[in-house]
Structure 1
Amino acid sequence: MANAVTITAQAGLAEVYREVASATGSTVVLVRGTAQSGKTALLEGVRGRLRADGVALSSDDGQSVTSVADGAAVVVDDAHALTPDRLSALTTLIEHGNAVVVLASEPRPHNRALRALVSTVSARGRIFDLRPLSSAEIITAGRELGIAVSAQLAQTIHDITGGTNNGVLAALDAARADIANADARTVTAAVGRWVASILKSHAPELLSTLALTAVGCGLDPADVAAVAEVDDDRARDLIDRVRACGLVTEPDLLLPIAAEPLRTVSGERKYLAVQQRLFDVQFDAGGLRLHTAMGLAETGLRDARLGAFLRAGAHRSELFSAARMYAAAALAGADRDSMAVRHSVAAVVSGDLTTATSLAEGVLTATDVSTSDLSTAVAVLAGISAYRGVLTRSAELYRWLGPERSGAVSGVAAAVMVAVGDSTAAAAFMAAGAAGPPTDAVAGAAQLGAAMVASISTPGVASAGALGRAATTLTGTDAASFVPGSAASVAVLACLHIGDLTRAQDIVTRAVAADRPGSLTWCHHQLLTAWTAMLAGDDQGAHAIVDTIDADGLGPRNALFANAIRVGLARRAGDHGGLSAAWGSAVRMLHDVSPDLFMLLPLGELWLGGIRLGESGTIAHVIDEAAQVLRNLGEPALWSNTFHWYGVQAAILAAEPTDMLPHAEALKAAAATGDSYAAALAGAGGAWLRVLQDRPDAVEVQQFANTLGRIGLSWDGARLASEAALRVSDTAQATALLQVARGLRQDTRKPVTAGEAAPRAVGAALTDREVEVADLLVLGLTYREMGARLFISAKTVEHHVARIRRRLSAGSRSEMLSLLRAMGYGKTDEVLAR
């Protein structure tokens, strides 16, 4: 049995000819590939080399193969086009002759004579199957033609040609002809012309069969026979020819770039007539599949039966895939108004907000619309507004709808009203009650509304628990698409606002697992995962998540979250450049969003980032609006505690102790009601105030620094301890406080894995070079002196110091030095010993 080898035409000549030249006596080689795969060019190369080596070519067309002299060569292209008699003669020659036989053929599995020839070659020679070119091979081919093809352009060429050899060459030739302007448009136009030239050479029967591949119906002999009006044998031959034409991928799908040229060459009327016959055949036989029906509608077939079939299929399908079916049903002629509401919901789930908005707004302005459809359309528009960061617009929509018409979405409406600070409207929507069957969607929406209303007055832990239960009920329901972010995101935010990072991570992990990757909720849940990681001190994990999310696909709310995370990470790392860049991107988003309860965390990070950059005035009005939302709700502890803690931190960063007082007072008032989270923050705020007033209490600072660590604010606690260490006069107390800071920073990092040396420094371990720099830095050497000692430049020393400061999350140079001293760096004996 022959060895079957897979090659490309671009690299195949040397390998094929090596097989021909190395054999003695009878040699048989078959080069097999689709049309346009480069077989003819490869055989021309073989002929040229045989002639150059003095080998006689007995026949080039396969007609005289019965009388080939020993040692001569027979080279036959397009063996699939030979008559059965000629194929039989070639088979006899291979079995009994003593010649070199090189053949090229398309795969034609239904051609009996060709199948017998291939079987003989397989037993006596070698078969080379030509495969498409990969993107990397397209780059190489371009280089051989003198063209520098970028990875992006190579991928474009691969996508539009399927890697077919001659299509790739057409694209590269176009690029070479206008190398200065070679881009996706240039090569796409060239490949389109190449496709059209191929199609013009095909017979009408083949074009009709090829048209079936444009709708993804597969190539069934019975369908082909009925559509092309041929017998079964001819139908199987047409299927072979279509699959081998070089324009169809393995699952019998037409290359997208060939769709329009095929319509043009076939003629619009005939093209649609073929599709109509296909639909009639499959619909009447009960074998029509949904994806074929969508393809038929999207190619322009209009038939009431097709529209009804697609609408029914969309009703049965999951929402993510139903959106395309509804659109196809409308194209086929189904009544758009009758499915507008359901289509708008499906469009939201699939991420097509433009279509969803258009459909839902149409429902709002239509006459004779049921209350249920009206409330759903409002919920769709309100959910889109929430995604875009304008929850005030969502509230306006629900106010227009009114409690009496809110029905199943009354709970979602109530949640939105609480989030924008309108507790009166929220109570009215909850009083209206949730109408409709007791489905998970209705029940979960009611739970969400009740939990949000309760969060105004009940302790944070209880409210977070209720919101978590609502999120569990709503997961996987249609109503989940209308909640700002998602019900899970609301629950996660509540957990973050009370410092329960463990529960937040648990909820968001389950939410991500239930998401469809790339969906709107998936992006938001990923960002909340990153936020939780940042608070837990896993800066690397948070960076990894944010950096993998496509920024272009984020709406304003998610974009603001993403940039706020970058601001927070840069601030904690002391990365001024990164902070400035992230702040600049975030500020552009501020004009597109409205403050609400669900935006308090990102606004808090931007507040601190703005102060660090001296840009506090840019965000001041937004912070005032957020504060007003909280005042309108009576300063609910669950949502306001974290906001006021950001206020405390803002006053510290701005070195304005008096600005801390209103926030500290608000935290004290919440603590007086028994809120333990507020009590912790209030105590820590008081300790900070005394540190700023240069009268730190080391015992108090240590207590509240550790408390902050326990409630998910380890970075803040470490900063409190390290700042106090700089201001206490007693060396022992300073050392103890620095040890607290070090412990809190270490607690927020991942543990050292087996085989790693335990880090001597807080946070990530310093490199060997950074250890040397740290020791000399603590001893007081200048950058120039350290550089001379370590045989590096002063500038390089400066870079090492900057990295050390970021690793320690030190807010200042003096803090960095204090931390390094407390961790044992700069001991003279050890440094001199090295």
Structure 2
Amino acid sequence: MTATAPTTSPLTGGPVSTALVRAVAEDPTAPRTLAVTGPAGSGKSVVLRELSRVWSASGAEVARTPGAEPGRVVVVDDAHELTDEALDELRAFAGDPGARLVVAFRPWPRGRALARLGAALASSAPPLVLGSLDAAGVVARAVLITGSRPSDETVRVVLERTAGSPLLVDRLLAAAGGASGVPPELAEQLGYAIDAEDRRVVDLVTATALGAPQDSEVLVPLLGLADAAGSGIDELDELVQRAVAAGLCTPDGRVVPLVGDAVRGRVPPARRTELRRSLAEIELDRGGSVLAVARTLRGSGATGDRAAAVFRAAAVEAARSEHPDAVRFYAEAVAAGTAPLTVAARRAEAHLVAGDLDGALGHADAVLSATDAVEPEDAVRAGSVAAAVLARRGLLARSAELYRWTAAVAGERLPAAAVPVLIGTGAWEEAREIGGAGAIVPGRAPTLVDGADDLTARGILDSVQGSPTAALSGLARAAGLLESAHGAALLPDTPAALAALVAVHTGEFDVASSVLDRALRTGLGGVPARSRHRLLLGWIALLRGATGPAAERLDAVDADAAGRPLEPRDEFLAAALQVAIARRNSDLGALMRAWTRARQAIVRHPVDLFVLQPLGELVTAATRLREESWVRPHLDEAQTLLDQLGRPALWAAPLHWAQLQAAILVDDADAAREQTAALERAACGSRFAQAMATAAPHWVGVIEGRVDAEAVEAAARGLHAVGLSFDGGRLAGQAALRTDDRRAVSALLACARALQVAGAEVRTASPQGGGADGAGRAGARGPAATGPGGPAAGGPGSGPQGSGPGGTAPGRTAYDGTASGGAEPVRAAPGGTGRDGRGSSGTASGAAGADGTSWDGTSWDGAGSGGRAVPGRAAGAPGPGGDTGAGPDRAGTGAGAHDQGRAAAAGDAARVEPPPSLLSDRELEVAELVVQGRTHKEIGEALFISAKTVEHHVARIRQRLGVSGRSELLDELRRILEERG
């Protein structure tokens, strides 16, 4: 007779068990003796029930004990609970040749009688060993129980929480469908199962669930175990085996997560705290790691000397690996009864490592205010922390004073870590004395941090009076040493940041990027250094002309700050970066917003050697905005600092270059020649300085209208060769605007295009007129500057003029054509005339103001009272006050030569509604920039064409669209661009 195996079986998910039942169903009368073993919840009873059902269906009698009746099938569950006599009887029955016997038992306890029975059963067939379900088994059980297939994440969570125990899998799926948390009914079920076990097993599981390690040195005293040998290890092993057999622990002794959750929920709070306190004290006494148990004790309210000692030990252990938990452990130690002043110095250090500079400075100051009540070691530690914090906040002079004080307290010379601070403030002789002595302190073993300090000191000294290559090499090696050591957070600056600064000042942008990228990957300097490293990477991208990536770096740092102010040193660099991005993108609105931020950064950060390059960018922007008074004191301090250091070429050259750019913006040839001479004196400092010194005289020539096209192109390519692709392209482009030789114009513009594209990162201009902060939208006018000011001074055809706090400087035009004082857009004079009605001898490229400059401070295409006319290129003859006609893409424009007479005639004509395809691709590119409010010069620079060519494009666009006024033109262009998406 053949029994039928069910199609939907409780054994679903267990292929071996299913195969056994199927084999019995196919031949139920065949002799079979078998042992089924596995921990509680593995499905032993389910297998026995299914076998009993199959045998019963075949007509056989199923019993729990052997009897005299022939053909009886014996199925025994929980054989580990039987007496030795009963087990011996079963073993005797198993020896019958026709016996059908299946016995199930846990793997522990296993007495001799059970072992003999197991051996007898295994002689005829291997035992069926039940264990954990795999992922496929969980899926099968979930389909059976819930009626739907679970997600991969649900399967992962169920397996993780149940350790694959079939019983727990079923109960979790039935109670919560695999969701997180322990359903109350399931927690109660598990509680009954746990409480049914031996009390000592429950204690073991409870201790392990509350964080006790699987270590006999901890568990034996914690549980109060002892055996015949007195060590308690044998008893502990037995308890672990019992817990595994009961299904409470995995085979490696770990508590099943779901069981652990249930246990922790049932332990009373007082018992939980006491057990964790005992565990912590055991770890403390044996000198082991207390981090894990201290974390479980944290927040429990434990107090007293022993608890405080545990928290202090955990804090020291966490601080050793620069883990931020050290801050909380010190706070817990104080709450538990530790005197605050005794741990204040170490708390300051922990706060610094965690990036909390305010907390670090507060605790350090508490120590420095009570030096007579603390140990000298704590005073030195607190002084070092305060010095590092103040250096990160840009207060290098105060930081140097603290380093001197700590050296006096310790009775030692100044540490090598103080060298960058001393050099940064101009104390050359003092720094040289430290650097020459090395970083080794007698009586103290040299550490990786000591070696890094020594290399850093020598590198900084070499950057001032030595080889730039040696300086860069030393700093890069110092950064490498600190990657595998802790302590960089206590330095005034990271070697990686200093190496990047030196590399940038020598034009080695690839080296700078590589050092910073590696520092970010390895976490060099910890949390406090992350923003600095990222901002420096943005600065490198900026110098290469990649304003898009630079803006992304800046935005990421600002986003991470989440509205909190950056530290003054980081904020100074961030503000300079934002200003520089806006200036290079010719975005006046963004530049004005950035300058507001920069002014606040300037007043918070004094001058030091390591901010000279950002300061130079602010000097250039201040000149453009006529805000020189904001940076003049800083610039004077920078000159004094450089004099104190002997005018080191590496650090001085970029500042001279920035001052040269500022002189160019105002056509100050004398100042430009002065900075050119300074650059030529610094040319021997590096290849970087040499390239700037070579290019400088050609900028002077551009101002004076003298352009040697071949020499300019060579100088521009020299700038590109040292990484200054943007500066090289700008030199070539501006020189092209100052020569009348068409062949030279073509060659120089081609050079400018090539250099801009050839940079390591391609500069990306926003297609929507957004600035560095991403503001702006297609077709939106840039914001007009606001603030009290008078009406525009110019008449028709003139550049508007206005002033007032927060507004643009006199003579500058806002993007929508309104003056900074709020005047209406200026209408164009007929026939391409200037303010006084005289005809222009060329085409305009930008609106000019009272000083003869367009809004960016240059006067390439027109002259005012302070400017210089370039024959054949002025937009219009200067009228009273130096006003000139402006290009046709700005308010206050005169009609260009190619559309004279068309504007008036087209004014009354019916508007044509052309399809977008009416404009060529190049005209569409021009149209996008016109809508953004760019001048002809700016459009030319963006598209690498001359301003005159832009004039021709705009004239053709006006003709094709049949519009005359500027507002009509802008409306039509916005509509066309919006239709094109």
Normalising TM by the smaller chain, what interval? 0.5 to 0.7
Hey, what does 1:387 align to over in structure 2?
392
Matching residue of 1:442: 450
Match of 2:353 in 1: 349
What's the counterpart of residue 726 of structure 2?
A: 715
Greater alpha carbon shift after TM alignment, 124-133 vs 589-598: 124-133
- Counterpart-to-counterpart distance in 2, 1:496 and 1:648: 19
Offset, 1:275: 1.8
- What is the TM-score of this pair, normalised by structure 2? 0.54
Match of 2:540 in 1: 532
Residue 702 of structure 1 aligns to a residue whose secondary structure is: helix
* Matched residue, 1:486: 494
Does structure 2 retain, via aligned residues, the 8 Å contact 1:385–1:393?
yes
Distance 1:687 1:334, change over 3 A: same
> How big is the shift at 1:748?
0.5
Tell me which of the two structures has the higher relative contact order, counting C-alpha pairs closer than 8 angstroms and 6 or more residues apart. 1
Using a 3 Å threshold, how does the CA distance of structure 1 residues 26 and 738 change in structure 2: closer, same or farther?
Answer: closer
Query: What residue number does 1:187 align with?
Result: none
Indicate yes or no: 2:377 matched with 1:396.
Answer: no
Change (3 A) 1:381 1:798: farther
**1:366 pairs with 2:366:** no
Matched, 1:643 2:661: no
Specify whether residues 198 and 466 from structure 1 end up closer, same or farther in structure 2 by C-alpha distance, changes over 3 A only. closer
C-alpha change, 1:551 and 1:280, in structure 2 (3 Å) is closer
The corresponding residue for 1:42 is none
Determine helix, strand or coil for the equivalent of 2:682: helix
Which sections of structure 1, spanning at least 5 residues, go unmatched?
1-22, 33-79, 99-109, 138-162, 172-190, 753-776
Secondary structure (helix, strand or coil) at the match of 2:507 reads coil
Aligned to 1:511: 519
Does the CA-based 8 Å contact 2:656-2:678 persist in structure 1?
A: yes
Compared with structure 1, are the counterparts of its residues 275 and 88 closer, same or farther at alpha carbon in structure 2 (3 Å cutoff)?
farther
- Is the 2:294–2:310 Cα contact (8 Å) retained in structure 1? no
- Could you tell me which amino acid in structure 1 is paired with residue 753 of structure 2? R
1:419 Cα deviation after fit: 0.4
Residue matched to 1:269: 270
- CA distance in 1 between partners of 2:432 and 2:258 (Å): 57
Q: What residue number does 2:561 align with?
A: 552
Partner of 1:746: 757
Q: Could you list the per-position Cα deviations for residues 185-222 of structure 1 after superposition, in whole angstroms to 9, with x for gaps in the alignment? A: xxxxxx99x99998999789989966864547579999
1:104-125 per-residue CA deviation (whole Å, 9 max, x = no partner) reads xxxxxx9989999999999999
Give me the whole-angstrom Cα distance separating, in 2, the residues matched to 1:692 and 1:449. Answer: 42
Q: How far off is 1:704 after superposition? A: 1.8
Residue matched to 1:757:
none
- Rounded to whole Å, the distance in 2 between the matches of 1:440 and 1:234 is 47
When residues 351 and 228 of structure 1 are mapped into structure 2, their CA distance, relative to the original with a 3 A threshold, is farther
Question: Which residue does the alignment assign to 2:505?
Answer: 497
Matched, 1:705 2:709: no
**Counterpart Cα distance in 1 of 2:217 and 2:409:** 59
> CA contact under 8 A between 1:534 and 1:569: conserved in structure 2?
yes
The 1:683–1:319 alpha-carbon spacing in structure 2 relative to 1, beyond 3 Å, is same
Aligned to 1:629: 641
Range 275-284 or range 496-505, more displaced: 275-284
The answer to whether the Cα contact below 8 Å between 1:133 and 1:164 also exists between their aligned partners in 2 is no
Number of the residue aligned with 1:324? 325
Structure 1's 251 and 225: CA in aligned 2 closer, same or farther, altered over 3 A? farther
Go from structure 1 to structure 2 and tell me whether the alpha carbon gap of 1:516 and 1:713 turns closer, same or farther (over 3 Å shift): closer
* CA displacement at 1:490 relative to structure 2: 1.0
The letter for the 2-side match of 1:551 is D
Structure 1 residue 729 corresponds to structure 2 residue 740: yes
Task: Tell me: CA distance 1:681–1:478, structure 2 relative to 1, closer, same or farther (3 Å).
Answer: same
Match for residue 294 of structure 2?
294
- Measured against aligned partners, the alpha-carbon deviations of 1:730-759 in whole angstroms (never above 9, x if no partner) come to 11111121122122112204599xxxxxxx
CA offsets, 1:385-419, max 9 Å, x none? Answer: 22233333312322433568574752222320110
1:169–1:119 Cα change, 3 Å: closer
Deviation at 1:483?
3.1
Comparing 563-572 with 492-501, greater Cα deviation is found at: 563-572
8 Å contact 2:496–2:519 — kept in the other structure? Answer: yes
User: What secondary structure sits across from 1:740 in the alignment?
Assistant: helix
1:236 alignment partner in structure 2: 243
- Alignment of 1:602 with 2:611, yes or no, is no
SS of 2:749 mapped into structure 1: helix
Is residue 26–residue 97 contact of structure 1 (8 Å, CA) maintained in 2?
no
Report the 3-state secondary structure (helix = DSSP H, G, I; strand = E; otherwise coil) of the residue aligned with 2:142: strand
Q: Return the alpha-carbon distance in structure 2 between the equivalents of residues 824 and 357 of structure 1.
A: 57
More displaced, 736-745 or 571-580?
571-580
Deviation at 1:644, TM superposition (A): 1.4
Task: Give me the whole-angstrom Cα distance separating, in 2, the residues matched to 1:124 and 1:418.
Answer: 66
Alignment of 1:414 onto 2:540: no
- Measured after TM superposition, the shift of residue 725 of structure 1 is 0.5
Q: Distance in 1 between matches of 2:287 and 2:380?
A: 38
Q: Report the CA distance between 1:459 and its aligned residue.
A: 5.5
Tell whether 2:134 aligns with 1:127.
no
Write the mapping of 1:605-684 to structure 2, written as runs, cut at 5 A: 605-612=617-624, 616-671=628-683, 677-684=688-695
SS of the residue 1:594 aligns to: coil
The answer (yes or no) to whether the contact 1:212–1:275 under 8 Å persists in 2 is no
1:90-111 deviations in Å (ceiling 9; x for gaps): 885699789xxxxxxxxxxx99
Per the alignment, residue 813 of structure 1 pairs with 939
When the two structures are superposed, what TM-score results if normalisation uses the length of structure 1? 0.63
Distance in 1 separating the partners of 2:747 and 2:478: 45
Query: SS of 1:728's equivalent?
Result: coil
Query: Quick one: which of 691, 696, 720 aligns to 2:702?
Result: 691
Give distance in 2, aligned partners of 1:199 and 1:655: 85
CA deviation vs aligned residue, 1:676-732 (integer Å, no higher than 9, x gap):
544432332221122112222323322321222222212111101110101111111
What's the offset of the Cα at 1:294? 2.4
CA offsets 1:444-503 (integer angstroms, 9 cap, x no match): 323433443454344545544444455455554455333333112112201211222233
Distance 1:91 1:226 in 2: 45
Question: SS of the residue aligned with 2:945?
Answer: helix
- Structure 1 SS opposite 2:141: strand
How far is the alpha carbon of 1:89 from its aligned partner? Answer: 6.0
Distance 1:297 1:377, change over 3 A: same
Aligned to 1:75: none
**2:42/2:131 contact within 8 Å kept:** no
Q: Does the aligned pair in 2 maintain the 1:563–1:586 contact within 8 Å?
A: yes
Give the 3 Å change call, closer, same or farther, for CA 300–511 of structure 1 in structure 2.
Answer: same
Cα distance between partner residues in 1 of 2:55 and 2:599: 79
Q: Tell me if 1:521 matches 2:567.
A: no
Aligned counterparts of 1:498 and 1:394: Cα–Cα separation in 2: 27
Assess if the C-alpha contact under 8 Å between 2:579 and 2:621 holds in 1.
Answer: yes
Assess if the C-alpha contact under 8 Å between 1:28 and 1:94 holds in 2: no
Larger radius of gyration between Structure 1 and Structure 2: 2
- Point out the more displaced range, 397-406 or 557-566: 397-406
Higher fraction of helix: 1
- The verdict on how the C-alpha distance between 1:133 and 1:568 changes in structure 2, with shifts beyond 3 A counting, is farther
| Correspondence for 1:106 | none
Instruction: Please tell me whether residue 788 in structure 1 is matched to residue 802 in structure 2.
Output: no
What letter is aligned with 1:128? A
Q: Given that residues 44 and 130 in structure 2 are in contact (C-alpha distance below 8 angstroms), is that contact kept between their aligned partners in structure 1?
A: no
Count of residues in correspondence between the two structures:
666
Give yes or no for the alignment of 1:27 onto 2:8.
Answer: yes
Distance in 2 (CA, whole Å) between partners of 1:117 and 1:473 is 54
CA contact (8 A) 2:392 2:493 kept: yes
Give the letter aligned to residue 27 of structure 1.
T
Is contact 2:544–2:725 with CA below 8 Å preserved after alignment?
yes
Q: Which moved more, 1:440-449 or 1:422-431?
A: 422-431
Q: Is the 8 A contact 1:216 1:253 kept in 2?
A: no
Q: Is the 1:403–1:410 Cα contact (8 Å) retained in structure 2? A: no
Cα RMSD over matched residues? 6.0
User: 2-side partners of 1:623 and 1:556: how far apart?
Assistant: 18
- Counterparts of 1:587 and 1:399, CA distance in 2: 32
Cα separation, partners in 2 of 1:319 and 1:219, compared to 1, 3 Å: closer
